[in-house]
Amino acid sequence: MTTKRKPYKTYPKEFKLEAVRLMETSNRPASEIAAELGIRRNLLYKWKEQLETKGEASLKSKRGRPLSADQGEVTTLRQENERLREEVEILKKAAAYFARELK
């Protein structure tokens, strides 16, 4: 049985800006600020670096590159195909087991 991956959490641009500002202006360690905000410490550093190198536009909420309409369907069909192959293997093993018992 395949399990679904937990979706990534996205944060609004304002949240990211405020988190970076808090990290830069306060005298507290980044790990403490991250724990207070409920995020990982390395996210703060990543957001800070993005803000310094690319500006505020880099902090907009996005999820990877956009998928074409066909890619989503192909992925779904591949997952279903994998699941069906596993089911066929299970049924083959069960059929062989029961065939041995009948002899």
Whether 6 shows a pLDDT value over 80: the answer reads no
- What pLDDT sits at residue 69? 67
Instruction: Output the pTM of the full model.
Output: 0.52
pLDDT in tens, 44-103: 999 999 888 888 777 776 656 656 667 778 888 999 999 999 999 999 999 999 888 876
- What pLDDT sits at residue 81? 96
CA separation for the pair 6, 52 (Å, rounded): 30
CA separation for the pair 59, 41 (Å, rounded): 16
Q: What are 45's two structure tokens? A: 């550093």
- What pLDDT sits at residue 2? 67
For residue 65, the SS3 value is coil
